[in-house]
Structure 1
Amino acid sequence: MTKQHYQMYIGGAFVDARSGERMDVLSPTTEEPLFTVPNGASQDAVAALEAAQAAQRGWAQTPAVQRGEVLARFASLILANREQLAQTLVREMGKTYRLALGEVDVAADFINFPAQSARRIEGDILPSDLPGEHIFIHKVPYGVTVGIAAWNFPLALACRKIGPALATGNVMVVKPPSVTPVAVLRLGPLAEQAGIPKGVLNLVTGGGSTMGEELVTNKITRLVSMTGSTATGQHIFRQAAQNITAVRLELGGKAPFILLADGNVDKAVEAAVVSRHLNSGQVCTCPERFYIHERVYDQFLRKYCGRVAQLRIGDPMDDRTDIGPKVSAGETDRLEAIVQRAVDAGAKVLVGGKRPTGEQFRRGHWYEPTVLSDCTNAMDVMREEVFGVVSPVMRVGGFDEALALANDSDYGLAAFLFTRDLANVHRAVAELEFGEIYVNRPMGEQRQGFHNGHKLSGVGGEDGRYGMENYLEKKTMYVNVS
């Protein structure tokens, strides 16, 4: 099979790494090399940052409405290339084609929302204590920003950063993940067609210890927005401290799924099936641990196991497929190990619990949807981010116990609650230590909301007007005309 080679996009030009080095992008379905991309290093990062710096002033001075118009064209071109981008996502990441189409739609929406909001950026005018004076608080772009995207939704997560960064007058260098970089690199020609000025958007590929470190520690960079693991986010936080560079980190999660005795069991089951298994469980807001009230525990488990057992694993391009491959061998090995540790500690496998067999699964990175019962909160499977199709289930006696167990975690990204009692909902708002709470529904944030984590799940946040403001810093002017 002939491998397609994709180039970086720096300063409006399509370029290879200055070293000439390339790296392979492998299929998680067949393990075959599909593409090659430049293996950029620090010198390529500097070139991209300098190109961005040269373009920043002109872009910031462009009227906000014009920036929005350019971004709207960019979003339209993303949608015009929907099928090609979706097929690329399937090939490099392994997600189902249905989900890949949805990711392209979301990516375009992540551009469109800030494009429509560009002219709505507001400052403040405050009265002064002095005569003949006003205090003006302006919101201004940081300048050169860096976006680092995770591998599970590479296109959408890149656009989630590009949209608000560019709409608010910043320029950006985007580094997609090395394991799934191609769909993001394909944005380069679309940016050019949309009329995004040279240097305003740059797309680079390379290793985290070379390319990534330069992007974060270089003095040109004024803000870093990263989506990924907590360990990587902590490392970036430490690196950014050298220059007091602003950081926005959306990191790991360990979402609790709480079903109380008064909750709608059927509705909870369906929400759990969708939310836990979307993208083969590789979503930071997936429910990762289940706290089910003892009065509905058996009913929930019976119905949930029945639904999970019906999920189909296989070719992600097949419309009948529910579960595609894991993104890499390492991720599959990690999933297998954490399930085995849970079983060794006393958990029972009710569904799955192993790699599928058969010729179809001889190559690729596969794991069966798995349900574990008799879990305890001390097990690794209840404390570490699994990021796969494993559902550890635990019986609880009431809401007080569920709240305590849910909050007994280093993470605070998302949580789920199923109850008919409004008092319980109010308690969840006040007591659940998570930035995003889904009540009586499956996961899925909306563009006008705000997606942020507490504790080790991150700082900053994205989406909506608060997400836009994360790309703006304040400048206060005391204007005295007396």
Structure 2
Amino acid sequence: MKLRDPSLLRQAALVGGEWIEARPGAAIEVRNPATGDLVGLVPRLGAAETTRAIAEAEVAQKAWAARTAGERASILRKWFGLMMENQDDLGLILTLEQGKPLAEAKGEIAYGASFIEWFAEEARRVRGDVIPGHGRDKRIVVLKQPIGVVAAITPWNFPNAMIARKAGPALAAGCAMVLKPASQTPFSAIALAVLGARAGLPAGIFSVLTGSASEIGAVMTASPIVRKITFTGSTEVGAMLMQQSAPTIKKLGLELGGNAPFIVFDDADVDAAVAGALVAKFRNNGQTCVCANRIYVQDRVYEAFAEKLAVALSGLRTGNGQDDGVALGPLIDAKAVDKVEQ
């Protein structure tokens, strides 16, 4: 399979308004988890580039916030449209670097684009409020204003949708965003930045930094310019980000690890329970924060449930996400395999 628009697979990071190309010897390799083939290289950036991106975001954000909600909404609508026009290419890029089946990847593109579309419209409806005061000579007026520069750290399991879900509301509200995508799946983020520039996002409003998570994250949390951190990932890293952000009193939005039992009671529709278990446990090959960690089944329906589940699982084909009929792609990397085996 080939991309219809090869420029979407750009081996570079966007720092403010400048694209920094990957250089062999100072780059991160991104490999297809199904085949081990090299997808491409991205720059190994660090503290200096992060500081620069934040500084440029601070400048750009003021002009972006000064635009009308309608102006911002118009650009976000164009971004949404470009995402949907390039759904096939974005889905292929996602499958190449993350491994999920192509149909599932294309579904994620539409899902991610829907956040951009929704928040583009919500941007027009950010209204304040007038609240009755506690005295005759008091009037309380609530104004909603953009918080400023937002730093985002996103995971590899939904490398398009998790970015769109964070960038959509931030940009609609008039904020700027500095993004650190997962090193396993940076090309989905970079492709979104390419399309964002085509849609008219001003330089500095949406940066994509690839490289050392510890270096980039440390600058994000320490910077007084960054007023909010949004993170999806493990509870351990979320706790660390909270601790590092405390001295600058940042707002945080943390979506952390799940712990989900799947429970089948003896009055359940067993066929429906099996279908639900397949979705709950095996979506994205089990690599989501809301996947079932364990299954509890009451005694009276245990045998029937186990038998039907085994039959259903036997029909799921595992393989390269680009191949027809594949329901389960690979795990993301060797560490994920080791975790399952343990």
Give SS of 2:272's match.
Answer: helix
Provide the C-alpha distance between the structure 1 equivalents of 2:258 and 2:149, rounded to a whole number of angstroms: 29
Partner residue, 2:111: 106
Partner residue, 1:317: 322
Indicate conservation of the 8 Å contact 1:20/1:38, yes or no. no
Equivalent pairs, count? 334
- The answer to whether residue 195 in structure 2 is matched with residue 190 in structure 1 is yes
Give SS of 2:300's match.
Answer: coil
Indicate conservation of the 8 Å contact 1:114/1:163, yes or no. yes
Higher helix proportion (structure 1 or 2)? 2
Provide the C-alpha distance between the structure 2 equivalents of 1:95 and 1:19, rounded to a whole number of angstroms: 28
- Whichever of the two has the greater Rg, that structure is 1
RMSD of equivalent CA atoms:
1.7
What pairs with 1:16-35 in structure 2 (closer than 5 Å)? 16=21, 21-35=26-40
Partner residue, 1:228: 233
What pairs with 1:269-348 in structure 2 (closer than 5 Å)? 269-337=274-342
Partner residue, 1:129: 134
Question: What is the aligned counterpart of 1:138 among 139, 143, 153?
Answer: 143
- The answer to whether residue 234 in structure 2 is matched with residue 238 in structure 1 is no
Q: CA deviation at 1:20?
A: 8.0
Indicate conservation of the 8 Å contact 2:180/2:213, yes or no. no
- The answer to whether residue 167 in structure 2 is matched with residue 162 in structure 1 is yes
Provide the C-alpha distance between the structure 2 equivalents of 1:16 and 1:71, rounded to a whole number of angstroms: 26
Indicate conservation of the 8 Å contact 1:17/1:40, yes or no. no
Indicate conservation of the 8 Å contact 1:68/1:115, yes or no. yes
User: In the alignment, residue 245 of structure 1 is paired with which amino acid?
Assistant: K
Partner residue, 2:6: none
Question: What is the aligned counterpart of 2:62 among 46, 57, 66?
Answer: 57
Partner residue, 1:211: 216
Normalised to the residue count of structure 2, the TM-score between the two structures is 0.94
What pairs with 1:242-281 in structure 2 (closer than 5 Å)? 242-281=247-286
Identity of aligned residues (%): 37
Unaligned runs of 5+ in 1: 338-482
Partner residue, 1:417: none
User: In the alignment, residue 263 of structure 1 is paired with which amino acid?
Assistant: A
User: In the alignment, residue 83 of structure 1 is paired with which amino acid?
Assistant: D
Provide the C-alpha distance between the structure 1 equivalents of 2:130 and 2:269, rounded to a whole number of angstroms: 49
Q: CA deviation at 1:242?
A: 2.0
Provide the C-alpha distance between the structure 2 equivalents of 1:273 and 1:236, rounded to a whole number of angstroms: 34
Provide the C-alpha distance between the structure 2 equivalents of 1:136 and 1:18, rounded to a whole number of angstroms: 53
- The answer to whether residue 76 in structure 2 is matched with residue 71 in structure 1 is yes
Provide the C-alpha distance between the structure 2 equivalents of 1:29 and 1:129, rounded to a whole number of angstroms: 64
- The answer to whether residue 53 in structure 2 is matched with residue 48 in structure 1 is yes
Provide the C-alpha distance between the structure 2 equivalents of 1:16 and 1:40, rounded to a whole number of angstroms: 11
Deviations 1:273-324 (A, max 9, x none): 1221111111111122112122212211111111112211112112211111
Normalised to the residue count of structure 1, the TM-score between the two structures is 0.67
Question: What is the aligned counterpart of 1:118 among 123, 143, 149?
Answer: 123
Structure 1's 18 and 50: CA in aligned 2 closer, same or farther, altered over 3 A?
farther
Unaligned runs of 5+ in 2: 1-8
Provide the C-alpha distance between the structure 1 equivalents of 2:330 and 2:285, rounded to a whole number of angstroms: 7
